[in-house]
Each structure stands twice: as C-alpha cells, then as structure tokens.
Amino acid sequence: MILYAVVLGLIVLTLLGVSLARLGGVKTKADYLVAGRSLPAFVLVFTLLSSWIGSGSLLGGAENAYKHGFAALWQAGGGWAGLLLIYFIAPRARKFAQFTIPDLLEVRYNQTARVLGVIAVLFTYTAITSYQFIGGGDILHLIFPQVTARSGQVILACFVSVFTAIAGMGSVAYMDVVIGLLATFTMITALPVLVHLGGGWGQIRAALPASHFKVFGDLRPFQSYYAAPAVAGGAPQEVQSAFAIFLPTCLLMLGNQSMYQKFFSARSERAARRATVGWLVGTLFLESIIVAIAVVGSAMYKTGEVHARPREVLAYTAVHAFGGWGGAGSGARPLAILGALLVGAIFAKVVSTANNYLFSPATNLVNDIFVRYVRPEAGNKQVLLVSRLMVVGLGVWALYQSLGTTSVLQESLYAYTIYAAALTPVILAAFFWRRATAQGAVASIAAGTVTTVSWGWITPHLPAGMAATDAIVPSLVVSVLSLLVVSLMTAPPSERQLRQVVEDGDVAARA
C-alpha cells in the first residue's frame, strides 16, 4: 500500500508541477484556450492520445472485454475508423483556427446553430467527465480501502477541477505528454508479464469461453437507453451490438470538439496532419493492449470483487497479479513496482481525460456565451478569471452526475450518441457539403439531441423490434435526414458564407 501511495503521490506532484510551470505563459485568451496556437506535432500526438483513451476505454472498454473478450475491440475500432477520416480533416480544422466547434457552427451556419452546439457539448462532455471521476474513485478505493469509492470521486473531482483551471490548454497538453509516455511504456511492459503470470496464452485461452476470441464474440444489445428486450429476426444480435458500439465511437471521434481544439492549437497545418498519423498508430496499439490485459485479467480473476465490478479489471489485475500488497523477496519487488506503475498510469490517464473533457465545455461557456453575448468587451484578465470559475463550476456539475451513474460503459455510449447524432453530421457538412444550410444544421442538431435524450421514453410505445434498437440508429437517421431534407428545401448558403470557413481561417492563422 505504501508503494502505491508513493507512486500516485509522485504522479500527482508531477502533474501539478507541469501545470504550475505553464502558468507563467498564460497572458491572453488564446494562451489559455488554445495554448497560443503553438503546439508541435509531438505534443499534439500525446495530448490527442491521452484525451481519447480515458475511462471509456480503461473502464468501459475493459468491462466489455472482461465480459465478452476481444469483441470489445469493436468499440475501439470505431475510433480507428474515425481517425482514418480525420487525417483529411485536420489541416482544414487548423486553417479555420478559431477556438471552439460552436465558432465553426456560427461562421458556417448561424447563431442558433452555435447555441445549440454549446448545449450538445455541455450534455456530452460533462457526462464523459463524470465517469472519469468514477474511474478515479474506483482506483483510490482499490488502493486505499478506507477511502470509499464515492469519497474517491469527490477527491478526484476537486483535484482535476483545480489544476485544470490553473493554466488551461497549455498545461493540459504538456501534462498529457508525461501521462502518455508513462502509460505507453508501462502497458507494453505489463502485458507479456501478465500473460506469463497467467500460465501462458494457452492456459488463458483454455480458461475462457471460445466466444471471447471470435470476431463478434457473444455481444448482446446494451440496455442503456431503452428497456425493451432483444427480439429475433434481422441481423444477428452480435453484429447489431458490434455496430451499436462501433458507430457512436466513430462519430464522436469525427466530431470531437476536444480534438478540434487541439488542431486549433497546432503550430501549423502540417503539424496537425502529422499528429493524426501518430495518434492513429498510438490508439491502435494502446486500445488493443488495454483489451488484451482485460482479457488476461478475466481469465485470472473470475470471481471476487472484480466479477461484481468488472470495470475495475485493469487496476484489480495490476494490484493482485503483481503482488501489490507487499510480496516477499527481492524477486517480488520489481513486479510490485510494475503493478504500482500500471495502476498509476491508469489513474493518470483517467485524470488526463477528465482534464480535457472538463476544459472543453468551459471553453464553450466562456468563448461562445460569456464573450459572445454577455461581455463582448471583456479584457484578458476578466476572461481568464471567468474561464477558471467555469472549469470549477462544471467540475461540480460533473461530480453530481457521477454520483448517480452505475455503469461506465452505458454512460459512455449514451454520451457518445448525443454528440454523434447532434453535432458530427453538421460538423462534417461544414467542411465537405457546400449545400448544407443554417436551417438544415439547426434542424439536425435539435432532432439528434431530442431523439437521443427521449429514446428511453419513446421505446415503451413502439413495436418490440423497433424498441430493441440502440439509440444511435434512430438518432443518427433523424439527424442526417433533417440536415439533408431541410437544407435542400431552403435557399443555399451564399458564396461569401462558404468562403468564410476558409478565408477567415487563413486570416486567423496568420494573426
């Protein structure tokens, strides 16, 4: 226990030190919100990687892998597919060079789209932040049993809120470099050691159902936004469920505001594109290792606390497999240190993701509401003060949400679906479909959000076949149809409005 406390303490002090070191460089709104548009490709790779791989992967994805094996990679696969497309989006996003996604929505569409975009981001990102707090609370409880999981959530929420507020994007990005390096090297080292401790790959396979090693496994629909049972007919349930975890993840990746903010923070368009390549390689590698560790853990620990709380499988396996409670002899010490570093890396990744998804909606409230409508004349000092207060306020709201959440996997898919249906179609249309109109964008955002949030209330009144459908399908269909139909029924945007996305971006990039 002392070893784990020391490792976690060192990680916390390191993160706090990085945050304080960046404080002196924060003078303007651009410094705080987009790191002065100065991030090189190397830093971008790790901050993008750290913001994407958090509790959704380390808890939700690991929980899925514990139950269903390697079929859990369908969730990660959605991110991989999205990243292949992002390679072509990244330079366009950097050229636009504003502060937030709602900036893009107003320039390309109108003010109503901007406000609806802020609402969708707040719903999604505070939900994502909330289950980071759950993950951190679980880890603190696992290491320090006298600290309840709920108390751990409160502790983590306070810590994350304070040091995210200190220095803004600069601290978040450079802190992610430290976290990304720690997590990458620790997980690469831990996996083969765990396989050896588990008796080798043959014994691990023999201990698990054959379905754990099949493409679709034994996935079943997730009862996250609806109550109706699955029904026979149509595509196999395993395929439907793989699609239901693949699609929201892919669409969240494509429209992810946190990602676009990182691209807005890039030193150049070339740096943004190069960072995307590194991000794709890193995500493929780390997501696969996370699922593999969870599968090994499911073979080693089929009963006990982890069976009741499978989202803890990574940290639980690290603590128990590596003799984390004080194994005897010199041979046990390296394993205990590796276990402590693995738990520390998981904890740090959770903290990093919480930072990113807490900082992003705070940026919206400051840039898209406060500066845009409340105090357009506000100076840099006032903007910085309000920004920090917004971070703390949203941290409290995310903590409140976390106290009522039971499943990280279900909560993550719910958050992904809101964003995927409400914002991703109009964001992609802003860059790639000239015929998209302001009216179509507003209809799309509103329809996607309302359908996702209300799906649980609608399903009891639908036929059984429709009621068993995951929310992403009807939400995305309604959103895209609204965008297409309303855009085609209304006057096309002017050439001046279309050019603004590129020309205003060029001006901003040179500023």
Output the pLDDT for position 93. Answer: 65
Q: Six-digit token pair at 188?
A: 């690469």
Give alpha helix (H) positions in 72-110.
73-96, 101-108
| E strand intervals along 111-187 | none
Measured at the CA of 112, the angle between CA 106 and CA 113, to 5 degrees, comes to 55
Rounded distance between C-alpha atoms, residue 130 and residue 358, angstroms: 9
Residue 503 has pLDDT above 60, yes or no: no
Output the pLDDT for position 467. Answer: 66
Rounded distance between C-alpha atoms, residue 121 and residue 419, angstroms: 7
Q: Six-digit token pair at 268?
A: 């150049």
Q: Which helix (H) or strand (E) holds 271?
A: helix 269-300
Q: Which of 339, 346, 306 is nearest to 325 (CA)?
A: 339
Q: Which residues pair with 266 in a beta bridge?
A: 39
Higher-confidence residue of 413 and 351: namely 351
For helices 101-108 and 495-510, give the axis angle rounded to 10 degrees: 140
Residue 84 has pLDDT above 90, yes or no: no
8 Å CB contact between 131 and 59: yes
Higher-confidence residue of 114 and 38: namely 114
Residue 221 has pLDDT above 80, yes or no: no
Q: How far is CA 256 from the centre of its chain?
A: 8
Task: Count how many Cα atoms sit within 13 Å of the Cα of residue 42 in the half-sphere of its side chain.
Answer: 4
Query: Which residue shows structure tokens 């703390």?
Result: 392
Query: Which residue shows structure tokens 């975890």?
Result: 245
Rounded distance between C-alpha atoms, residue 353 and residue 358, angstroms: 8
| Dihedral sign for Cα atoms in the order 180, 402, 224, 121 | negative
| Residue 225 amino acid letter | Y
Q: Which residues pair with 39 in a beta bridge?
A: 266
Q: Per-residue confidence at 240, pLDDT binned at 50, 70, 90? A: low
DSSP string, 439-451: HHHHHHHHHHHHH
Higher-confidence residue of 25 and 300: namely 300
φ/ψ of residue 378, rounded to 5: -60, 140
Measured CA distances, 112 to 103, 209, 497 (Å): 12, 52, 15
Domains annotated on the chain, with CATH: 2-21+29-219+232-396 (1.20.1730.10)
Q: Six-digit token pair at 163?
A: 């040091």
- Percent of the chain as helix, strand, coil, to the nearest 5: 80, 0, 20
Query: Which residue shows structure tokens 């041979």?
Result: 331
161-165, 215-219, 472-476, range with the lowest pLDDT: 215-219
| Residue 239 amino acid letter | V
Q: Six-digit token pair at 192?
A: 């083969």
Output the pLDDT for position 368. Answer: 79
8 Å CB contact between 459 and 226: yes
Phi/psi zone of residue 202: left (φ > 0), alpha (ψ -120 to 50 degrees), beta? alpha
Q: Which of 119-133, 198-212, 366-380 has the highest mean pLDDT?
A: 198-212
Output the pLDDT for position 98. Answer: 60
User: Across residues 339-361, what is the average pLDDT?
Assistant: 84
Residue 266 has pLDDT above 50, yes or no: yes
User: Across residues 269-295, what is the average pLDDT?
Assistant: 87
Q: Per-residue confidence at 436, pLDDT binned at 50, 70, 90? A: very high
Q: Which helix (H) or strand (E) holds 178?
A: helix 169-197
Other Cβ atoms closer than 10 A to 509: 16
Q: Six-digit token pair at 160?
A: 């994350």
Residue 223 has pLDDT above 60, yes or no: no
Q: Six-digit token pair at 3?
A: 């070893």
Rounded distance between C-alpha atoms, residue 192 and residue 36, angstroms: 41
Q: Which of 379, 451, 460, 393 is nearest to 422 (CA)?
A: 451
Rounded distance between C-alpha atoms, residue 476 and residue 424, angstroms: 9
User: Across residues 130-153, what is the average pLDDT?
Assistant: 87
If you compute the radius of gyration of the chain from its CA atoms, what whole number of angstroms results? 22
Q: Which of 422, 425, 426 is nearest to 493 (CA)?
A: 426
Measured CA distances, 270 to 93, 253, 386, 432 (Å): 11, 20, 33, 20
Contacts of residue 195, defined as CB under 8 A and 6 or more positions apart, other chains included, come to 201, 204, 296
Q: Six-digit token pair at 333?
A: 């010490």
**DSSP three-state, residue 470:** coil
